[in-house]
Structure 1
Amino acid sequence: MPKSEFQIIILEDDPFARNWMALLAARDWRTRLAGEFDQPLKIIPLLHQKASPLDLVLMDTDIPGGEDWIPQILGAVSGMKHPPAILCTGIRANPDILGRMNHPSFVGYILKNEINYSLAWAIDIALSGKWVVTEGIRSLASSMRFPLPRPCVVLDGRKTLQSTLSRHQADVSRLAFLFSMERRELADELGIVEDWGYGLVSQVYEQLGVKDILTDEEIMRSYFDDQPLILAHIQKIRATGNATVKAHDLETLAFHMITMPEMVPLR
C-alpha cells in the first residue's frame, strides 16, 4: 500500500533550528514528525524498536563529537531490517562529513541556509531514490573529486516562487502560508487593518495561481505531476465542498508552492 506520508525524526542540537525544521515538517502534507532529539545517542533506542515505522532521520552533522556518535548511529541503523534513510544537514560544507558518506543509508547532504524553507521537498526527493545536495555540497564534492551518488539533484531553496513576489507579498506569504497566521494577527504584524490582510492574501493566491491548480488539471500536473502525495491531497480538496476546510487547505497548497526549490539534476 502506498505511503500517505513519511515518518521522520529530527536530530538537531540548536533549539531554534530544531523548532524551525519541526514547523516546516508539520506544515507539509508529505511529512509527519515522529520525534525531535537534541543529543545523537538519544535516538538509538528508537532505532532499536522492532516495529519502528521510521522513514528518515534528519541529522545535524555539526553536533560536536561526530567522529564518535555518527558511527554509533550507523551501527544501529545497519542492524535494522528496514533501516531509515539519513539526510545530513549542516551550516557549512564539511569535507570530513562528505568523505564518510559511503554508507547506503545516506541519501544526501544539504546546507541549512541553502535549503531554506524547502526542507520537506529535500526529504521527499531523497526518499524517492535520488541523492539530494545543495550547491555548497556540490561545490565541495567537485573540489574533493568526491563522486556523488547518482541520480542526484542539486536543490536551491533560495530560488522559489516566493522570490518572484514583491517584498510586501513575500512577507504576506511567509506569515500566511509558512506560519499559517490568523488574518487578524497577520494584519497586526504588518501594521494594517484586518480587511486589508484578507485582500493581500487573495492577491498572493492570484499571483501564485493557487486556485488555477485546483481547477485546471494541466496546470496542476505541471507543478506536481511527480508528487503523488501532494496530488492526492489536491484531489481531496477538489472533492470537498466544505468552505472552511478548503480555505485551510488553500493555505497549505500555497505553502507547497512557495517552498518548491529549484531542482537541477546533477550530470
Structure 2
Amino acid sequence: MTRIIASLAEISASYDALFCDLWGCLHNGKQPYEAAVEALRAYRQAGGKVCLMTNAPRPNQYVIAQLDRMGVPRDAWDIVVSSGDAAQEALFQGAVGTEVWHIGQPKDDGFFTDIPEGFEDAPAITRVDLSEAQGIVASGPFDEENETPEHYADRFRDALERGLPMLCANPDIVVDMGDSRIYCAGALAKYYEELGGKALYFGKPHAPIYDRARKILGLGGDARFLAVGDGIFTDIEGAEDQGIDSIFVTGGLAAEEFGDDVENPQGDMLEDWLKRQGRKPTFAIGRLR
C-alpha cells in the first residue's frame, strides 16, 4: 500500500540521490513552487544529491536557462538531465537518418544545432520537408496550444507509407502550463504507433535517461535512489522499471482524482486510482515540500 507522507524530510535520509521531475513538481511551467524548492535545498544541505530529470526535448543547457529565468535557484539541484540529452545522442548516431522532418517549435532548435560532445565529426543532420525525409523527429506539436495528434493524421499516413521511423524527444503525453493543458511529443508518437508506425523513446520511463543520470552523478553501485514525479506512466513507471522507490506527487497531472484538497490526497481515492493504473508508488504526497 502506498504511504502518504507530509514532507520529503520524513523519508529522505534513506536515499543518496533524487531523480526529481520538473513540471508539476518543481514548477508549473511559469513559476516555481517555493515549498518544493525549499525541500530540495534542505535535502542537499543534508548531503543528498538532486538530479532534475525532465522529459523536455531540449539539451539540458536550455532547461537550465529556463529554470534560471523562472527563478529556480541553482542551490536546489546538482545536475539536470533531459530527454533531449538522451534522444540527441541517438539522433547524431543516425537512429532516424540524417535528413529528418521536424515536428516542433523554434524553441527546440538547439536539439539540432548544439552538437553533443563526442559527435563533432558525425554526419550532419538536416531538417527537410516530409516528402524528402528519412525519418521524423517529434519534439512537440507545431502549435501546442491548439493542435491535437489527430491534426497530423494525413501527414502521418504519408510517412507510414514510406516506413519512416519517429524519434520522440519527449515521451510525455501532456503537461500543464499554468492553468492550460497542452499535448507533448509523446502524444504524437503514441498516435503514430496506433496508426502502425515505429517510435523510438529515450526519456522517462525508458532506461537511457536513467543510465545517463547515474553516470553523471558518479555515485557507487550501492547508491540508493528515489524518483519524484506526477507522471504515473513516466516518473512512477520508470522508477518501477528501474527497481527504485518513488514518490507520486498527487497534486500534479491527476490532482482532480484525489479529493478537493490538492495538498492532502484522500487515501481511499488514491488507492482505487492507483489500482486502476496498475502502479504502486512507494510514497505519495500532495505537493513536493
- The higher relative CO (CA closer than 8 Å, separation ≥ 6) is in 2
Pairwise same-fold verdict (TM > 0.5): no
By percentage of residues, which structure has more helix? 1
TM-score by length of 1: 0.28
Q: What is the TM-score normalised by the length of structure 2?
A: 0.26
